[in-house]
Amino acid sequence: MTKVNIKNCNKERKIKTQLTSKIIKNLPLERIGEENVNSYGSTFKIVEYNNAHDIIVQFYDGYKRKANYHRFSKGEVSNPYDRTVCGVGYFGEGNYIGIFKGKHHKWVNMLHRCYNEKIYEKCPSYKGCTVCEEWHNFQVFAKWYDENYYEIDGQIMELDKDILVKGNKIYSPETCVFVPHNINVLFVKSNGKRGEFPIGVSLHKKSNTYIASCKNKSTKKVTIGYYPTIELAFNTYKKYKEAVIKEVADEYKDKIPQKLYSAMYKYEVEITD
């Protein structure tokens, strides 16, 4: 039977303990400057290491934040300036928290309409639309939202970009306004269903005449009349449509912003719409 030398064992244990203590003591120095990359391609490094649960990391843009070494090593440290929505939108620094409802929901949907190509398959009219640079930052959009959002009983409120400025394709503080659904549908053009004729005009094949038709303020489609030329049919539609828009504007006059009311009264239907 082999005799254990207790004295030698204690000596080896003491040496191992000293080496371990030395390694642990030097860890902060060894890990400072260590770099990693998160899933959005942002590089960050350790600039302060207190222990595995208390480190400070700094991104290349200068932003610093607390983290733990486990998340650091897995690349799970986020930067509020990472372009997390459609490669464009970022949350920024401020008082607004991103929860998928209300202002955050509107912001995310707006960015997807402009920068998600899959949206174009169902809604080709969004192709070519953009969001102004300042609204790429959720904090800036959220502040504008709080200053401009309002509600009307029984109505879904929608963010519109082209009633105030006809034909506009840029979402911005100057061009956007919140609009109740009943107003917004007045300006839907349904280009995909129109065919070769101007808006509001279709061919009645049996009589070889042109039909002028339009949705009334209740969004029910009505036939206005039959005309021998496209121009006459369109002009009748134009007059009827502009009257409907003014009628609805008057109904909502005391509930909507003045700039929206004014834009509705000035709105002109064109044959190129």
pLDDT tens figures, 143-200 = 999 999 999 999 999 999 999 999 999 999 999 999 999 999 999 876 555 678 999 9
- Beta carbons of 216 and 222 less than 8 angstroms apart: yes
Most distant CA pair in the chain, distance: 118
Q: Report, as an integer, the average pLDDT of 213-225.
A: 91
Question: How confident is residue 5, by pLDDT bands cut at 50, 70 and 90?
Answer: low
Q: Is the model's pTM score more than 0.95?
A: no
Asked if 83 and 89 count as a contact pair (C-beta separation under 8 A), the reply is yes
Split at pLDDT 50, 70, 90, the class of 217 is confident
Q: Per 3-state DSSP, what percentage of the chain is helix, strand, and coil (rounded to 5)?
A: 40, 20, 40
The domains of the chain are located at 12-73, 102-182, 186-266
- How far is it, in rounded angstroms, from Cα 180 to Cα 48? 52
Give how far the C-alpha of residue 141 lies from the chain's centroid of Cα atoms, to the nearest Å.
9
Note the pLDDT of residue 24. 46
pLDDT digits (tens, 9 = 90+) for 25-51: 556 678 999 999 999 999 999 999 999
Question: What is the predicted pLDDT for the residue at 6?
Answer: 53
| Radius of gyration for the alpha carbons in the chain, expressed in angstroms and rounded | 31
* Per-residue pLDDT, 122: 85
* Residues 242-273: tens digit of each pLDDT: 999 999 999 999 999 999 999 999 999 999 88
Question: Can you give the pLDDT at residue 201?
Answer: 94
Residues 203, 208, 214, 218: is their CA dihedral positive or negative?
A: negative
Contact 170, 127 (CB under 8 A): no
Q: Which tens digit of pLDDT belongs to each residue from 95-149?
A: 998 776 789 999 999 999 999 999 988 888 899 999 999 999 999 999 999 999 9
Beta carbons within 8 Å of 195's beta carbon, 6+ residues apart: 202
Lowest mean pLDDT among 2-11, 59-68, 168-177, 232-241: 2-11
At 61 the pLDDT is 92
